[in-house]
Amino acid sequence: MGRLRLQSSINAIEEEPEECEATSSNKSALGCMINSEIGAVLAVMRRNVRWGGRYVSGDDQLEHTLIQSLKTLRRQIFSWQHEWQSVNPSLYLQPFLDVIRSDETGAPITGVALSSIYKILTLDVLDVNTVNVDDAMHLVVDAVTCCRFEVTDPASEEVVLTKILQVLLACMKSKASVMLSNQHVCTIVNTCFRVVHQAGSKGELLQRIARHTMHELVRCIFLHLPDVDNTEQSLVKGGSSVKNENAGLDTDYNFSGKSENGSGASEFDGQLSSGVYNSASSGLIGGMMDESIPRNDNGKDAVPYDLHLMTEPYGVPCMVEIFHFLCSLLNVVEHSGMGLRANSLTFDEDVPLFALGLINSAIELGGPAIRHHPRLLSLIQDELFRNLMQFGLSMSPLILSMVCSIVLNLYQHLRTELKLQLEAFFSCVILRLSQSRFGASYQQQEVAMEALVDFCRQKTFMVEMYANLDCDITCGNVFEELANLLSKSAFPVNCPLSSMHILALDGLIAVIQGMAERIGNGSLGSELTPVNLQEYTPFWMVKCENYGDPEHWVPFVRRRKYIKRRLMIGADHFNRDPKKGLEFLQGTYLLPEKLDPQSVACFFRYTAGLDKNLVGDFLGNHDEFCVQVLNEFAGTFDFQDMNLDTALRLFLETFRLPGESQKIQRVLEAFSGRYYEQSPLILANRDAALLLSYSLIMLNTDQHNVQVKKKMTEEDFIRNNRHINGGNDLPRDFLSELYYSICKNEIRTTPEQGAGFAEMTPSRWIDLMHKSRKTSPYIVSDSRAYLDHDMFAIMSGPTIAAISVVFDHAEYEDVYQTCIDGFLAVAKISACHHLEDVLDDLVVSLCKFTTLLNPSSVEEPVLAFGDDAKARMATVTVFTIANRYGDFIRTGWRNILDCILRLHKLGLLPARVASDAADDSEMSSDPGSHGKPLTNSLSSAHMQSIGTPRRSSGLMGRFSQLLSLDTEEPRSQPTEQQLAAHQRTLQTIQKCHIDSIFTESKFLHADSLLQLARALIWAAGRPQKGSTSPEDEDTAVFCLELLIAITLNNRDRIGLLWQGVYEHIANIVQSTVVACALVEKAVFGLLRICQRLLPYKENLADELLRSLQLVLKLDARVADQYCEQITQEVSRLVKANATHIRSPMGWRTIASLLSITARHPDASESGFEALTFIMADGAHLSPSNFVLCADAARQFAESRVGQTDRSIQSVDLMAGSVSCLVRWAQDAREGTAEAEAAKLCQDIGEMWLRLVQGLRKVCLDQREEVRNHALLSLQMCLTGVDEIHLPLGLWPQCFEMVIFTMLDDLAEIAQGNPQTQKEYRNIEGTLVLALKLLTKVFLHLLNELSQLSSFCKLWRNVIGRMEKYMKLKVKRGEKLLELIPELLKNTLLVMKTKGVLVPTSTLGGDNVWEQTWLHVNKIFPSLQSEVFPNHDSEPLHSNPVLGESASDQTE
Q: Provide the annotated active-site residues.
A: 660
Secondary-structure breakdown of the chain: helix, strand, coil percentages, each rounded to the nearest 5: 65, 0, 30
Cα–Cα nearest to 1203, from 1265, 1112, 1250, 1248: 1265
Alpha-carbon torsion, ordered 1050, 1055, 1056, 1058, to 10 deg: 90
Cβ-based neighbours of 22, under 8 Å, separated by 6 or more? none
> How far, CA to CA in Å, does 299 sit from each of 302, 471, 507, 676, 746?
9, 32, 41, 17, 21
Chain centroid offset of residue 514 CA: 12
| DSSP calls for 608-653 | TT--HHHHHHHHH--SHHHHHHHHHHHHT---TT--HHHHHHHHHH
Cα–Cα nearest to 8, from 129, 114, 108, 121: 129
Q: What is the CA radius of gyration of the chain?
A: 56
| Nearest-angstrom CA–CA distance, 1155 and 1189 | 9
1116 near 1160, Cβ under 8 Å? no
1133 near 1090, Cβ under 8 Å? yes
| DSSP calls for 371-421 | GG-HHHHHHIIIIIHHHHHHHHT-S-HHHHHHHHHHHHHHHHHHGGG-HHH
Cα–Cα nearest to 95, from 115, 70, 65, 117: 70
149 by DSSP, 3-state: which? strand
Q: With the C-alpha atoms ordered 37, 43, 45, 51, is the resulting torsion angle positive or negative?
A: positive
522: left (phi over 0), alpha (psi -120 to 50) or beta: left
Q: Give me the phi and psi of 436, to 5 degrees please.
A: -65, -20
Q: Give me the phi and psi of 1304, to 5 degrees please.
A: -65, -45
Cα–Cα nearest to 110, from 48, 199, 174, 193: 48
| Nearest-angstrom CA–CA distance, 399 and 349 | 7
| Nearest-angstrom CA–CA distance, 171 and 180 | 9
938 near 1088, Cβ under 8 Å? yes
| Nearest-angstrom CA–CA distance, 226 and 697 | 51
CB-CB neighbours of 693 under 10 Å: 22
CB-CB neighbours of 246 under 10 Å: 23
Interaxial angle between packed helices 1234-1258 and 1264-1279, expressed in degrees from 0 to 180 and rounded to the nearest 10: 160
Cβ-based neighbours of 588, under 8 Å, separated by 6 or more? 533, 566, 570
| Nearest-angstrom CA–CA distance, 917 and 1092 | 14
Run of H or E including 743: helix 732-744
Cα–Cα nearest to 459, from 796, 788, 778, 832: 788
49 near 56, Cβ under 8 Å? no
| Nearest-angstrom CA–CA distance, 1132 and 855 | 45
